[in-house]
Amino acid sequence: MMLKHTLLKAVEAGAAEMTRFFHGEFKISNKEGINNLVTEADHAAEKAIFEVIQAEFPGHFILSEETGEIVMDSTYKWIIDPIDGTVNFANGIPICCVSIGVEKDGEMVMGAVYNPFLHEFYFAQHGFGATLNDKKIQVSAKTEVIHSCMVTGFPYTYLDTPNGPLQVFEKLIRKGVPVRRLGSAAMDLCWVAAGRFDGFYEHKLQAWDSAAGFLIVEEAGGKVTDFKGNRYSPYQPHIIATNGKIHDELVAIVNGGDF
């Protein structure tokens, strides 16, 4: 299938640029907010990805972290994070990846996430399951949050809302639930899909952070919603992604409930 072929090629092109720059010298600049970095490698990866997509589907809509929207009158939209986990990347920490989701008529139909440093290539197509390096993956079987291994992230800007990132984190930690913070939402989602984590929640994501990963979780048998437990949309900030079995309990906890 042409679409899948192009997606895989685009992800590989972005990853090749990441690999080229990793541990090397590159320029780093700041976007809005402290430590919200963008590197020369982000731009190089994005350029390489665009070249692949636009060569084969020049009429498709593109939404990308660094460039923003390339608006086209198309039923297809490519949602791209050239490097998810830029702070990790800039510090030589190999938890970072290329993430690309493909939407058709507003539905996510395909997603790929590639971490070239860990040699992990995740792919999902709607209705066809999810794979890691071409082997089928599925979510974990844990049934209670108290016995789960969780992952989260913290936004660059703290919104002083009730049950904010630190409050939820503290609540879980005080109960002895292990909660990791890896610095790449796309990897967090893939590791939920692979059964390494039982649940992931975050208070403020952009569409390109989760577009590919949320489909990968769903296709691995997991559940992804907003904080209210409603059907997930990458165009709103909140995400809860789990193995499905702990989902309702985690939704309640994130909304201020106890356990």
Write down the domain spans for the chain. 2-136, 145-254
| Stretch 90-111: mean pLDDT | 97
Mean pLDDT of the chain: 95
Q: What is the pLDDT of residue 34?
A: 67
Q: Please give the C-alpha separations between residue 85 and each of 23, 49, 152, 231, in angstroms, as whole numbers.
A: 15, 17, 13, 26
Token duo for residue 208: 């390109």
The confidence band for 27, taking pLDDT boundaries of 50, 70 and 90, is confident
CATH architecture of the domain 145-254 equals: 3-Layer(aba) Sandwich (3.40)
| pLDDT tens digits, 210-257 | 999 999 999 999 999 999 999 999 999 999 999 999 999 999 999 999
**Is it the case that residue 98 has pLDDT exceeding 90?**
yes
- Decide: helix, strand or coil at residue 58: coil
* Confidence (pLDDT) at 10: 98
Region 167-196: what's the mean pLDDT? 98
User: Residue 23's pLDDT is what?
Assistant: 79
Split at pLDDT 50, 70, 90, the class of 14 is very high
CA distance 239 to 256: 15
pLDDT (tens digit, 9 = 90+) per residue, 122-173? Answer: 999 999 999 999 999 999 999 999 999 999 999 877 777 889 999 999 999 9
Angle between helices 185-193 and 207-219 (to 10 degrees): 0
What six digits make up the tokens of 178?
């292990």
Structural class in CATH, domain 2-136: alpha beta
Question: Which residues share a beta bridge with 99?
Answer: 81, 113
* pLDDT band with cut points at 50, 70 and 90 for residue 33: low
At residue 26, the pLDDT reads 85
Q: Residue 172 in contact with residue 194, Cβ under 8 Å?
A: no
Supply 20's token pair.
């080229």
Compute φ and ψ for 238, nearest 5 degrees: -95, 145
